[in-house]
Amino acid sequence: MSDIVEVDARRLLCPMPVIRLQDCINRQPAGASVRITCTDPGTMNDIPAWCRINGHSVISSDQRQQEFIFVVRKNGDGER
């Protein structure tokens, strides 16, 4: 799957960016990628931690001015 699903979590504070990511990931098939854009600096720790706990992969993370952008891949059963 080459399409990336976009999630806009700008202007949302903890825990809402992670909840938005979780809701989106849950609707995607294994192997899907989700790009989430956040303004809460806490997401730099929160999103990678959530991915580790739930077995998903952070493909990239980037900061552009006051925005934090992650690309997360939904892993299937047993895939990390």
Instruction: Give the pLDDT of residue 80.
Output: 55
In this prediction, residue 76 carries a pLDDT of 85
pLDDT, residue 1, reads 45
**Residues 15/44, Cβ–Cβ less than 8 Å:** no
Core vs surface per residue 8-43: b (16+ CB within 10 A) or e: ebeebeeeebbebbeebbeeeeeebbbbbbbebeeb
Q: Is 38 a catalytic residue?
A: no
- Under the banding of pLDDT at 50, 70 and 90, the label for residue 79 is low
Q: Give the chain's domain count.
A: 1
- Domain contains 42: yes
Question: pLDDT value at position 73?
Answer: 98
Please give the model's pTM, rounded to 2 decimal places: 0.91
- Asked if the structure places residue 78 within a domain, the reply is no
Boundaries of domain holding 23: 4-73
pLDDT, one tens digit per residue, over 9-68 is: 999 999 999 999 999 999 999 999 999 999 999 999 999 999 999 999 999 999 999 999
In a domain, 38, yes or no: yes
Q: Please tell me which residue in 14, 24, 38, 51 is annotated as part of the active site.
A: 14
Structural domain includes residue 80: no
What's the CATH code of the domain at 63? 3.30.110.40
